[in-house]
Amino acid sequence: MKVWKEVWHWGSSLGIAFLLAMLIGVFVFQPTKVSGHSMDPTLRDNERVFVSKLSHTFSYEPDYNDIVILDSRVDRERTFRDDVLENGLLSLLSGKADEQIIFIKRVIGKAGDEIEFKDHKVYRNGEPLDEPYLNEPMTYTSSKKWVVPEGHVFVLGDNRNHSLDSRDIGYIPLSHVLGKKM
């Protein structure tokens, strides 16, 4: 009987620890690993960063230049179930940690902003952005003007010539902004 009592004690302690780790990972912060070179030189491939989940938990809009973690599947509704199942701990246990749906990008535009790409620069509301963090001069240009809709942001990688971002996947719903780099 004493052995079972000890097993129950240890099992319940581990269960509580797992539950607390899940709650912290879903609502407060979690570590994540940078995958790829789209944020060079600011963030390097395989670099580990901590993500504050508070902005997602309390639905705060990110600021310009915030580095955010986002769900790139913008064509589908995001649910609380996604937040739980894609938590770092559960994604490791489920084997889904390597899925390339989570992106790390920089916020360039917010609701109502007009974004343009000309003269190898990004313009927000007619003004060129000062972007000392860029890896190299941007080669991308376009005659298209992007107007960020309400409830969305426009994001770009710092390595503009090698980044899959809002130019490709479109505007990012605020519900898909999962947190920001701490």
Positions annotated as catalytic residues are 38, 105
The single residue listed with the structure tokens 């994604």 is 91
How far, in Å, CA of 30 to CA of 139, rounded?
34
Please give the structure tokens belonging to residue 137: 């001069």
Q: Is 142 exposed, middle or buried (0-12, 13-18, 19+ CB in 10 A)?
A: exposed
With residue 143 as reference, give the H or E element that holds it: strand 142-147
